[in-house]
Amino acid sequence: MSTTERAETRQQTTTLAPLEPVKLPVVEPNPRGHQAGDRCREPGCGNCHWDVQRLKYWLRGRLLAAGADDAEVDKPLGAQTPGLLWRRGNRLCAIEVRSAPVSIEHARKRTARLKAVGCDEVLWLCPTGYWIGQIPALGVDDFAAAGCEYRALSGGLVIDSDGILSPRETPWEIREFIDGWVAGELACGYLDEDTRGWATVSDWEAHTHAQAMMIAQQRQELLDQRTELALARRATRDKAKQMHKMMHRLERAELVAGELDAVKRRLSDRDRLEAGLRVRIARQREAVLHWQLMTCFAMLVIVTFIVAGFMLK
């Protein structure tokens, strides 16, 4: 650069207008997500979406902290993209998060599809509602929980004093749940033919044991009842036989009674006949007596005439 050029540049620099202060637009604070306690359940709500994403990333952190080998948010698996996919050893599990009410049919189909692409277990985190228990879900209290202290109000099961699992009444910390689930201490199972829930493996063992005992007791009761039924049947058969015999006897007795009646009738007929004959015999005797008397009288008269004849000679 020549001396003259340098001088020109200096001149240009000095002639530039001083920088005006840049007026930056005032940035409004842009809070995203709901406030804790809002408990919004609106489908398609942007703030809810943000809360769900926050929960997913929080879950990812918890899963890794609990010992998962890998945990990914919205990672495709085959043709499916579960909200969260985590792996530990051979176990591959998925978590689906929904802040709006869930369609049971959709959830069941999605669970089946996730299992078809290789997920061993699927957990649904959704609001509390009738769908909890129909799908392997926990009912989350607040998706915008303060300090990420997420709690489940439903979907958990706990053993009662009879050793049978029943719905958990106390809230379940999701943090605690994740620790237990990753450690393989929790499992989802069927409480009855159509209610599902999450409980510890040891509680499931106690529950199945209590149920096995109950089944054994019921089987024994059934056997006893069958024996009783067989005995009752036999007794009924015996009674029926006896009844048949009695009926037969009764019929015979009726026949005999009929015969007796006939004999009685014949006897009374005979009695009547006899009485008539007696009367006739008495009359005939009387008549015979009269004739005898008359004969004697006639003989006497004849003898008198004969004696009188002799005397007259």
Q: Which of 140, 143, 131, 126 is nearest to 103 (CA)?
A: 131
- Note whether 98 and 125 are within 8 A (CB): yes
- By the rule CB under 5 A, 52 interacts with Zn ion: no
Task: Answer yes or no whether residue 48 interacts with Zn ion by CB under 5 A.
Answer: yes
Looking at the Cβ atoms of 32 and 106, the one nearer to Zn ion is 32
- Dihedral (CA of 67, 87, 157, 177) sign: positive
Residue 101 Cβ vs Zn ion, minimum distance, rounded to whole Å: 12
- Residues near 59 by beta carbon (within 8 Å), at least 6 away in sequence: 71, 84, 95, 97, 174, 178
Least Å from the CB of residue 94 to Zn ion: 24
Span of 48-56, 214-222, 245-253, 271-279 interacting with Zn ion by CB under 5 A: 48-56
Residues 121 and 86 sit within 8 Å (Cβ to Cβ):
no
Contact between residue 134 and residue 153 where contact means Cβ atoms under 8 Å apart: no
Distance (Å, whole) CA 197 – CA 189:
6
Residue 43 or 309: the one with the smaller Cβ distance to Zn ion is 43
> Tokens 């007259």, residue?
312
Q: Is 40 in the site for Zn ion (CB under 5 A)?
A: yes
Interface segment toward Zn ion; rule CB under 5 A; list 42-50, 69-77, 174-182, 255-263: 42-50
What is the distance between the terminal CA atoms of the chain, rounded to a whole angstrom? 239
Nearer to Zn ion, 96 or 142 (CB): 142
CB closer to Zn ion, 51 vs 96: 51
Examine residue 77 and tell whether it contacts Zn ion (CB under 5 A).
no
In the complex with Zn ion, the residue whose CB is nearer, 46 or 276, is 46
Minimum CB–partner distance for residue 188 and Zn ion (Å): 27
Name the one range near Zn ion by CB under 5 A: 34-42, 111-119, 181-189, 299-307: 34-42
According to the binding rule CB under 5 A, does residue 128 interact with Zn ion?
no
- Of 163, 158, 162, nearest in space to 206 by CA: 163
Q: Judged by CB under 5 A, which stretch of 45-53, 126-134, 237-245, 300-308 contacts Zn ion?
A: 45-53
Cβ atoms of 123 and 93 closer than 8 Å: yes
Only segment of 40-48, 103-111, 155-163, 221-229 that touches Zn ion (CB under 5 A):
40-48
Q: Contact with Zn ion (CB under 5 A): which of 4, 21, 24, 47?
A: 47
Tell the residue number behind the tokens 């952190």, with chain if given.
61
Residue 40 Cβ, how far from Zn ion at the closest point, in Å?
3
The tokens describing 213, both together, are: 């005992």
Q: Is 45 in the site for Zn ion (CB under 5 A)?
A: yes
Total residues contacting Zn ion by CB under 5 A comes to 5
Q: Name the residue nearer to Zn ion (CB basis): 35 or 295.
A: 35
Minimum CB–partner distance for residue 127 and Zn ion (Å): 11
Question: CA–CA separation, 6 vs 259, rounded Å?
Answer: 162
Dump the DSSP string for 92-128.
EEEEEE-SS---HHHHHHHHHHHHHTT-SEEEEEEES
Cβ-based nearer residue to Zn ion, 47 or 111: 47
Residue 104 burial (CB < 10 Å; 0-12/13-18/19+)? middle
Q: How far is the CB of 102 from Zn ion (least distance, A)?
A: 15
The span of 35-43, 222-230, 245-253, 268-276 binding Zn ion (CB under 5 A) equals: 35-43
List interacting residues with Zn ion (CB under 5 A): 40, 42, 45, 47-48
